């Protein structure tokens, strides 16, 4: 066997290929052809080691550190974490927070003051961008006559906010807090208000056609002259709500709580105000305890399983005991299973 040259020897040494092979008691050089083939295979299979990047530790006061700290503080406030634990959690997580999570926090909008958040929404509108601001704080801000059509405002805090005449058509307000907010003459057509809080909110002349109000709280809400045509009000809480002249044609009020709500008497004249429009409405399994339905046209309305009591006021000439309506009196024993007395058989 011919000896390999200097270049081939250096290549074999670099790639870790053995030059000789044992035959009997002697070691013999491999052929040049075999060595070249083995070197070629080694080059293919050899993995090139990448240089490890040294991660630089971020020191206190670097860009974005204060921003992420403020964001986490605001999130702790929303979650109801006490102030004493707040600082301790931030100190513990300062060194242990993964880089990916830290970057994702920085990319989120900073939950600053309601006024600053209102300005940010205004800038989005000026740039013709769709407003996407979930979990934002807009408490007691003025958003009157603002265009927010199709906006993503999930779980937004709008307590006491002024939304008079605002356009919220097809907006996503799922879980939003709108307690005591002014929503008079607001366009809420097709809006998603699932599980939202609208307690004591002003919804006079609001347009809620085809709106999703499933499981929404409307306790003491003012819905005078509100348009609720084809709205989904299943499991909604309308306890003590003012529904004077409200249009509920085609609305779904299944399992709705209408306790102490309905047409309110005018204190000046002593007469009941005009009726609520309930054409093609379903009140199936609704709570009508204490509801005032005087003057309401209940013709053709599904009242099967609805519960009433002695305080419920029905329209004149309406037979509440008619089995065709399927109403249930909460004070009666109707529907309760009677206990059968066990008759003991006498032994003969």
Q: Is residue 200 part of a domain?
A: no
Give the 3-state secondary structure of residue 272.
Answer: strand
pLDDT (0 to 100) of residue 168: 95
pLDDT, one tens digit per residue, over 235-277 is 888 888 888 788 877 888 777 777 666 543 332 233 333 445 5
> Which of 71-80, 266-275, 309-318, 335-344 is the least confident region?
266-275
Residue-averaged pLDDT of the chain: 76
* 83 belongs to a structural domain: yes
pLDDT at 96: 52
Which is more confident, 117 or 255?
A: 117
| pLDDT attached to residue 148 | 93
pLDDT score, position 110: 44
**pLDDT, position 84:** 64
pLDDT at 190: 95
Whether 146 and 168 have beta carbons less than 8 Å apart is answered as no
Whole-angstrom Cα distance, residue 19 to residue 10?
10
Alpha carbon of 297 to those of 52, 238, 248, 315: distances in Å?
Answer: 78, 19, 12, 7
Residue 66 predicted with pLDDT over 70: no
- Tens-digit pLDDT profile for residues 274-285: 445 555 556 777
User: Helix axis angle, 32-45 relative to 6-15, nearest 10°?
Assistant: 40
Strands (E), the chain: 20-23, 26-29, 307-308, 328-329
Percent of the chain with pLDDT over 90: 25
User: How large is the average pLDDT for residues 131-142?
Assistant: 90
Query: Residue 315 pLDDT more than 90?
Result: no
Whether residue 71 is contained in a domain is answered as yes
Q: For a pLDDT cut of 70, what percent of the chain falls above it?
A: 65
Q: Is 87 inside any structural domain?
A: yes
- For position 181, what pLDDT does the model report? 96
Residue 294: C-alpha distances to residues 41, 270, 291 (Å):
94, 13, 9
Q: Report the pLDDT value the prediction gives residue 272, as an integer from 0 to 100.
A: 37
Residue 183 above 60 pLDDT?
yes
101 domain residue, yes or no: yes
Could you tell me the pLDDT band of residue 201, with boundaries at 50, 70 and 90?
very high
Highest mean pLDDT among 14-23, 123-132, 147-156 belongs to 147-156
Residues 181-209: what's their mean pLDDT?
A: 95
Q: Is residue 210's pLDDT more than 80?
A: yes
pLDDT at 207 over 50: yes
In which band, very low, low, confident or very high, does the pLDDT at 5 lie, cut at 50, 70 and 90?
Answer: confident
Total domain count, the chain: 1
- Quote the pLDDT of residue 57: 60
Burial string for 136-175 (b: 16+ CB within 10 Å, else e) reads: bbbbebebeebebbbbbbbebbbbebbbbbbbbbbbbbbb
As a whole number, mean pLDDT of residues 27-48 equals 83
Domain boundaries, position 85: 65-107
Given a cut of 70, is residue 10 above it in pLDDT? Answer: yes
Spatial CB neighbours of 161, under 8 Å, sequence gap ≥ 6? 138, 139, 140, 141, 142, 143, 178, 181, 182
pTM, two decimals, is 0.56
Residue 56 is predicted with a pLDDT of: 63
- 18 contacts 42 by C-beta, under 8 angstroms: no
Judged against a pLDDT cut of 80, whether residue 125 lies above it is answered with: yes
Q: Is the pLDDT of residue 80 over 90?
A: no
Residue 88 inside a domain? The answer is: yes
CB 158 within 8 A of CB 178: yes
Out of 96-105, 215-224, 249-258, 316-325, which region has the weakest mean confidence (pLDDT)?
A: 96-105
pLDDT above 90: residue 95: no
More confident residue, 209 or 78: 209
């Amino acid at each position: 066997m011919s000896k390999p040259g200097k270049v081939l020897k250096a290549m074999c040494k670099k790639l870790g290929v053995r030059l000789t092979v044992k035959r009997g008691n002697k070691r013999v050089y491999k052929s040049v052809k075999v060595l070249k083939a083995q070197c070629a295979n080694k080059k293919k299979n050899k993995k090139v080691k990448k240089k490890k990047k040294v991660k630089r530790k971020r020191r206190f006061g670097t860009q974005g550190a204060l921003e992420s700290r403020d964001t986490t503080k605001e999130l702790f406030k929303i979650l109801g974490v006490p102030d004493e634990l707040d600082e301790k959690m931030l100190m513990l997580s300062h060194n242990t927070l993964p880089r990916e999570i830290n970057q994702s926090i920085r990319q989120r909008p900073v939950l600053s003051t309601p006024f600053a958040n209102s300005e940010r929404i205004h800038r989005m509108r000026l740039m013709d961008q769709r407003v996407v601001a979930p979990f934002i704080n807009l408490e007691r801000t003025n958003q009157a006559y603002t265009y927010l059509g199709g906006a993503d405002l999930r779980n937004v805090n709008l307590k006491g906010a002024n939304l008079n005449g605002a356009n919220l058509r097809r907006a996503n307000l799922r879980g939003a807090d709108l307690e005591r907010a002014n929503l008079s003459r607001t366009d809420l057509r097709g809006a998603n208000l699932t599980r939202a809080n609208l307690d004591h909110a002003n919804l006079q002349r609001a347009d809620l056609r085809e709106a999703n109000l499933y499981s929404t709280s409307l306790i003491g809400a003012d819905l005078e002259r509100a348009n609720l045509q084809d709205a989904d009000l299943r499991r909604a809480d309308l306890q003590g709500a003012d529904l004077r002249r409200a249009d509920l044609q085609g609305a779904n009020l299944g399992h709705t709580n209408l306790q102490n709500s309905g047409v309110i008497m005018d204190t000046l004249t002593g007469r009941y105000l005009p009726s609520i429009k309930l054409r093609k409405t379903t009140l199936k399994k609704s709570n009508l305890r204490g509801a005032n339905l005087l003057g309401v046209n209940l013709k053709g309305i599904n009242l099967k399983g609805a519960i009433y009591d002695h305080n419920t006021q029905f329209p004149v000439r309406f037979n509440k005991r008619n089995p065709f309506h399927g109403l249930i009196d909460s004070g009666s024993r109707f529907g309760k299973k009677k206990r059968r007395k066990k008759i003991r058989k006498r032994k003969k």
